[in-house]
């Protein structure tokens, strides 16, 4: 899939002079980032791809990027994107910062650290003005929900938010996508070769109502991330947030049904106008949309079904869909990098 | 699929002496009702199948039931199940009642009529004690959400309820199921013969965030049904209910994520105990369950992911899955009939 829509996302010649490392380049998010860097015309010779695992090639933008083993020294770079598991990011981020690079960590390792900014540029991009060396990129579902919620919060003050998700297979990376595709073939009577799955149950023709493990309170890790990260990104430490996360048989794009309680009245038509005017958001006029299948590979968070809830104007409901590999991960990280000073710290 | 689990649902020899009409016998709900009547050992010669459309045979319980055209005189029966569109039920129900039959209408035609009971037997079965001639059977998603919510309401008083659904293709009947199955084959590279679909967009690998048409407020008909019917079934006219309904690529079983606000504190463990003890409910101990694929063809409403929300003990969240052709339709209707006097009114 090409990645031209919206390119180059503020990526200037100054950014193109940076030596960029993509660590975890062979995963779903790493590959998406390579697509976006290519679309932003970043010189290929200034992209250093690294990954663990056996694969030494990352296919993106119709080309093969050579991939170095990630357990070698990270190498000298100006800007590093960590598309790595949290434990790897925890090790690697300090080393890279010490070496003089700026680091954008797409894992959850640093997100809730009080001293480290967690940024969706359209919402709290000003946190980047002081040129932080390490920036955390939010959870995919959080980023998608946060963008429209920030608009509603500024207009009418959020009091309480319920977020219920419909998350795509590729939220669990390429193994998740492959497992779903194999199960789909099997359901259609085509023998499937693949048997491994990152999911605890078949996902084809199913809904799995827990995207990650549960804590002792019965809340999933994914639900805790949405609660904590939404508060931090919106700058609303006391905001009441409640989430249910579920995996659905969709290849790409997470969807969220949002039911919000507001401090002040906000008519749905006014909410729609504000959302239409907000950067990074597309308002869907389709009465049966937005839908993940149609939104895959696009940049914005698509918002539809905007309506009042049980408290009239003091409640607002909407349905939002975003490509979790784009705005939910790689695109947001690139937008963060584009707003940072385009030079070594 | 056999229908033996839980049979015969209070169906006694007195019920088996009744002449039963199933109108709309060739649809998904009508066929399910024939399965259940067979499992409850209702004599086949006392089942009068009727339907519009071309098909003159309903396959159920591995047998072929002969189907009379529904535009003939309804015929003399003691008990009629109307698995018909609302406009047909509106015409037919008064004629049947006048002819001396009891009528259970599975359409939405009579549900919100103040004089007509809308019944989930485990919740408000006492409404059947006075032997009403016409009983309305609730919307499928409503019935599934109502059963656990009634237990929570009795224990801790519901103040506000958010219901977000993941609804199966067969909620749109056999055409919905066939459309999904054809799309699944197509997605797996198998040429699909079928092109017709009751859905406004492809459902395979998708989520369609509106199960029916929207009103001028942007609320779907399905969402309005959940709001109004939940209030009526729970006997809580002023209860604040808010719903988002969405169709997902699942063959059978609707799922709901429920976020409730309570008048009094209720610990999740206590809620689980109460739900475990309640008739018609199965509490799932699977941390990644319950799931629709595994619950298909079962009688109970399966409840899991029971936990507190943003208001601590004064908020309760859970995930419920029910077979919308069983408890959401045919099974509930049969249970209603089983509690009515087993004689002509």
Percent of chain A with pLDDT over 70: 96
- Contact at CB, A205 and B217, closer than 8 angstroms: no
Average pLDDT, chain B: 94
Q: Which of B205, B214, B295 to mutate to test the interface with A (most CBs of A within 10 A)?
A: B205
Using CA atoms, how far apart are residues A250 and A232, in angstroms rounded to an integer?
29
User: How high is the pLDDT of residue B58?
Assistant: 87
* Chain B residues lying within 8 Å of A163, measured CB to CB: none
Using CA atoms, how far apart are residues B40 and B13, in angstroms rounded to an integer?
10
Q: How far is A298 from chain B (nearest CA, A)?
A: 15
User: How high is the pLDDT of residue A54?
Assistant: 83
Among candidate residues B14, B95, B59, B34, the one with its CA nearest the CA of residue B344: B14
Query: Does A55 have pLDDT greater than 90?
Result: no
SS3 state at A82: strand
Query: Of B49, B254, B295, B302, which one is the catalytic site residue?
Result: B254
User: How high is the pLDDT of residue B1?
Assistant: 46
Q: Which long-range contacts (CB under 8 A, 24 or more apart) does B97-103 make?
A: B97/B133, B97/B134, B99/B74, B100/B76, B100/B344, B100/B345, B101/B21, B101/B76, B101/B77, B101/B133, B101/B344, B102/B78, B102/B132, B102/B133, B102/B134, B102/B135, B102/B337, B102/B340, B102/B344, B102/B345, B103/B79, B103/B133, B103/B134, B103/B135
- Contact at CB, B206 and A292, closer than 8 angstroms: yes
- Cβ atoms of A84 and A71 within 8 Å: the answer is no
Question: pLDDT tens digits, residue range B81-106?
Answer: 999 999 999 999 999 999 999 999 99
- Contact at CB, A205 and B293, closer than 8 angstroms: yes
Question: pLDDT tens digits, residue range A305-330?
Answer: 999 999 999 999 999 999 999 999 99
B312 interfacial to chain A (CB closer than 8 Å):
no
Beta strands in chain A (DSSP E): 20-23, 47-51, 57-60, 63-69, 79-82, 102-105, 134-136, 158-166, 240-244, 254-262, 281-283, 301-309, 312-322
Instruction: Out of B201, B206, B217, name the one closest to residue A308 (CB).
Output: B217
User: How high is the pLDDT of residue B70?
Assistant: 81
Split at pLDDT 50, 70, 90, the class of A189 is confident
Question: pLDDT tens digits, residue range B259-273?
Answer: 999 999 999 999 999
Instruction: Out of A188, A219, A305, name the one closest to residue B209 (CB).
Output: A305
- Contact at CB, A184 and B189, closer than 8 angstroms: no
B70 interfacial to chain A (CB closer than 8 Å):
no
Counting Cα atoms < 13 Å in the Cβ hemisphere of B67 gives 25
Taking residues A154-178, report their average pLDDT. 96
- Contact at CB, B218 and A310, closer than 8 angstroms: no
Using CA atoms, how far apart are residues B241 and B229, in angstroms rounded to an integer?
10
CB contact burial A146-175 (16+ within 10 A = b; e otherwise): bbbbbbbbebbebbbbbbbbbbbbbbbbbb
Using CA atoms, how far apart are residues A267 and B33, in angstroms rounded to an integer?
44
Using CA atoms, how far apart are residues A19 and A38, in angstroms rounded to an integer?
14
A241 interfacial to chain B (CB closer than 8 Å):
yes
A307 interfacial to chain B (CB closer than 8 Å):
yes
Using CA atoms, how far apart are residues B224 and B80, in angstroms rounded to an integer?
27
* Chain A residues lying within 8 Å of B200, measured CB to CB: 288
Nearest residue in B to A258, CA atom: B244
User: How high is the pLDDT of residue A5?
Assistant: 60
* Chain A residues lying within 8 Å of B248, measured CB to CB: 166, 207, 248-249
For A104, other C-beta atoms within 10 Å of its C-beta total 24
Average pLDDT per run of 10 along chain B, which is 345 residues long? 70 96 95 96 95 86 88 82 96 94 97 97 97 97 98 98 97 93 87 81 95 96 98 97 98 98 98 98 96 97 97 97 97 97 81
DSSP A284: -
* Chain B residues lying within 8 Å of A314, measured CB to CB: none
Instruction: Output the CA–CA distances (angstroms, integers) from residue A34 to A20, A50, A270, A340, B15, in the order listed.
Output: 10, 12, 38, 19, 68
- Cβ atoms of B254 and B170 within 8 Å: the answer is no
- Contact at CB, A205 and B246, closer than 8 angstroms: no
* ipTM tops the 0.90 cut: yes
B332 interfacial to chain A (CB closer than 8 Å):
no
Using CA atoms, how far apart are residues A278 and A122, in angstroms rounded to an integer?
8
A237 interfacial to chain B (CB closer than 8 Å):
no
The backbone torsions φ and ψ at residue A65, rounded to the nearest 5 degrees and listed phi first, read -95, 130
- Contact at CB, A190 and B189, closer than 8 angstroms: yes
What's the residue count for chain B?
A: 345
- Contact at CB, A185 and B185, closer than 8 angstroms: no
B54 interfacial to chain A (CB closer than 8 Å):
no
- Catalytic, B49? Answer no
Query: Of B49, B140, B253, B295, which one is the catalytic site residue?
Result: B140
Q: Which of A145, A205, A258, A318 to mutate to test the interface with B (most CBs of B within 10 A)?
A: A205
User: How high is the pLDDT of residue A1?
Assistant: 45
Taking residues A225-242, report their average pLDDT. 97
Query: Does A104 have pLDDT greater than 90?
Result: yes
Residues of A marked active site are found at 140, 254
The rounded Cα A135 to chain-centroid distance in angstroms is: 14
B61 interfacial to chain A (CB closer than 8 Å):
no
Taking residues A283-306, report their average pLDDT. 97
User: How high is the pLDDT of residue A101?
Assistant: 95
For B340, other C-beta atoms within 10 Å of its C-beta total 22
More confident residue, B153 or A6: B153
- Contact at CB, B305 and A207, closer than 8 angstroms: no
């Amino acid at each position: 899939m090409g990645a031209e829509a919206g390119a180059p996302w503020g990526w200037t010649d100054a950014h193109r002079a940076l030596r960029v490392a993509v660590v975890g380049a062979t995963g779903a998010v790493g590959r998406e980032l390579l697509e976006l860097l290519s679309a932003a015309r970043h010189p290929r010779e200034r992209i250093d791809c690294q990954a663990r695992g056996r694969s030494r090639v990352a296919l993106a933008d119709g080309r093969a990027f050579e991939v170095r083993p990630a357990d070698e020294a990270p190498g000298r770079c100006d800007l590093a994107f960590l598309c790595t598991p949290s434990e790897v990011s925890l090790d690697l981020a300090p080393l890279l910062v010490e070496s003089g690079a700026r680091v954008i960590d797409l894992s959850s390792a640093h997100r809730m650290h009080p001293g480290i900014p967690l940024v969706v540029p359209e919402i709290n991009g000003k946190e980047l003005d002081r040129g932080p060396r390490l920036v955390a990129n939010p959870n995919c579902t959080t980023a998608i929900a946060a963008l429209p919620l920030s608009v509603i919060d500024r207009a009418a003050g959020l009091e309480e938010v319920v977020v219920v998700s419909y998350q795509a297979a590729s939220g669990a990376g390429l193994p998740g996508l492959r497992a779903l595709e194999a199960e789909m073939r099997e359901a259609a009577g085509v023998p499937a070769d693949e048997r491994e799955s990152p999911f605890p149950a078949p996902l084809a023709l199913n809904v799995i109502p827990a995207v990650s493990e549960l804590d002792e309170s019965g809340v999933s890790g994914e639900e805790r991330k949405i609660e904590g990260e939404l508060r931090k990104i919106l700058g609303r430490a006391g905001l009441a947030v409640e989430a249910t996360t579920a995996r659905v048989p969709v290849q790409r794009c997470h969807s969220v049904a949002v039911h919000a309680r507001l401090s002040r009245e906000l008519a749905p038509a006014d909410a729609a106008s504000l959302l239409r005017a907000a950067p990074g958001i597309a308002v869907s006029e389709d009465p049966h949309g937005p839908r993940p299948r149609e939104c895959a590979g696009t940049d914005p968070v698509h918002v539809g079904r905007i309506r009042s809830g049980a408290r009239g104007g003091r409640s607002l409901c909407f349905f939002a869909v975003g490509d979790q590999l784009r705005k939910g991960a790689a695109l947001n990280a690139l937008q963060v990098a584009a707003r940072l000073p385009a030079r070594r710290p």
